[in-house]
Homo-oligomer: A and B are copies of this chain.
Amino acid sequence: MITIKEIAKQLNMSTTTVSNVIHGKTGEVSPETQKKVQDFLDKVDYVPNISARNLAQNQSKIIGLALKARADKYENLIMDPFVSELIGGVEETIRNAGYFMMLYISSDTTEIMRHVSTWNVDGLILFGMLDDDGIRVSEKYKKPIVCLDTYSIEGLKHFTNVGLDDEQGTYDMVNYMIVKGHKRIAFLSDNQSGVDLARLNGYKKALADGGLKFKQSDFLKIRPKSDEIQDSLEEICRKAKNFDAIMCVSDLYAVTLIAALTDRGIRVPEDISIAGFDDNMLGQLHRPALTTVHQDVKKKGIVAADTLLKQLNGQKTPNQIKLPTHLVIRDTVRA
């Protein structure tokens, strides 16, 4: 691990000169010395010490990707194909821009913020924030933040959010179900806030526009914790008799539900139609192939990272970026 100081000593020159060559400030140094340094550099393959650089420049070249895990979903979070696709998109974009990515998963916002400030992280991508988190974050942290799939959180409103046209997505799908003759359509999710709420609203709107009435019992709540999910599915499958179709809030839940239904002799789509949301490999590899709402998760990650990079360069970015969705009609909704 050779240092600039050491190089300067061996070459009988000052650290400034070496540093200038390293940073390509060609105007500041004569061609001869330039070459001399460059040759030496090639020989010893010098690697800068980022800690020292960070200290001197008060920046870190780190972008933090903080995933807030709901306690009841932690085990699922990292397994969800959604998350890994997202990470893939973000990591690639960040790396290509010469930044580094630090991944932090926690259910404790305070902990996340401590982590971020010790490392003097240059920018932050936040996923899974809700309720009062926003205020605490924006109090502590004064650098660029991009949120992902975050709806109207007080205190985060002045940050850019990269999201999806969730409402339109479920609207289109439920509308499609109605057109195909389904009347009793349920909605399945594990909560009613944020993204899930938006998708629920799209579903309700489609019902209303189709002349159907939404009843509280049309909302099916799934409890994803591993010690509750079986009971939860049992209950949902019992209620399934009352419906022609179920709009699920994610592909994961759709596929999980279909498996549970199949185990109980209820056929999809003959007995009941099921649709998902995400269009990930879970549904693509499923047979019958899952009818679902497509979103480009990797793109979401790329756009989020790109937006943050723009902010880091001092550019303004819009308050909301909504990526489109489209229907992927396959085989789990009866035609």
Q: Which residues of A contact B (CB under 8 A)?
A: 1, 47-52, 54-55, 60, 77-81, 83-85, 87-88, 91-92, 95, 100-106, 114-115, 117-120, 255-256, 258-259, 262-263, 280-282, 285-287, 289
Query: A79 to B88, alpha carbons, bound, how many Å?
Result: 8
Cβ B120 vs Cβ A49 within 8 A:
yes
Cβ A51 vs Cβ B55 within 8 A:
yes
Query: A85 to B79, alpha carbons, bound, how many Å?
Result: 6
Cβ B78 vs Cβ A118 within 8 A:
no
A84 contact set on B, CB distance < 8 A: 78-81, 83-84, 87
Complex A-B, nearest 9 residue pairs according to Cβ-Cβ distance, in ascending order: A78-B88, A84-B84, A51-B54, A51-B51, A262-B287, A47-B117, A51-B55, A50-B118, A255-B285
- The answer to whether residues A105 and B78 also contact, given A51-B54, A84-B84, A100-B119 and a CB cut-off of 8 A, is no
A80 contact set on B, CB distance < 8 A: 84
A1 contact set on B, CB distance < 8 A: 117, 120
- Pick the most buried of A49, A78, A263: most chain B CB atoms within 10 A of its CB: A78
- The answer to whether residues A120 and B50 also contact, given A91-B105, A102-B102 and a CB cut-off of 8 A, is yes
Query: A48 to B85, alpha carbons, bound, how many Å?
Result: 33
Query: A55 to B84, alpha carbons, bound, how many Å?
Result: 33
CB distance from A97 to the nearest CB of B (A): 14
A87 contact set on B, CB distance < 8 A: 78, 84, 87, 103
CB distance from A54 to the nearest CB of B (A): 4
Query: A91 to B50, alpha carbons, bound, how many Å?
Result: 22
CB distance from A107 to the nearest CB of B (A): 12
CB distance from A121 to the nearest CB of B (A): 10
A95 contact set on B, CB distance < 8 A: 104-106
Query: A262 to B1, alpha carbons, bound, how many Å?
Result: 57
Q: Which residue of the partner chain, among B60, B79, B100, B256, contacts A51 with CB atoms under 8 Å?
A: B60
Cβ B55 vs Cβ A118 within 8 A:
no
A77 contact set on B, CB distance < 8 A: 88
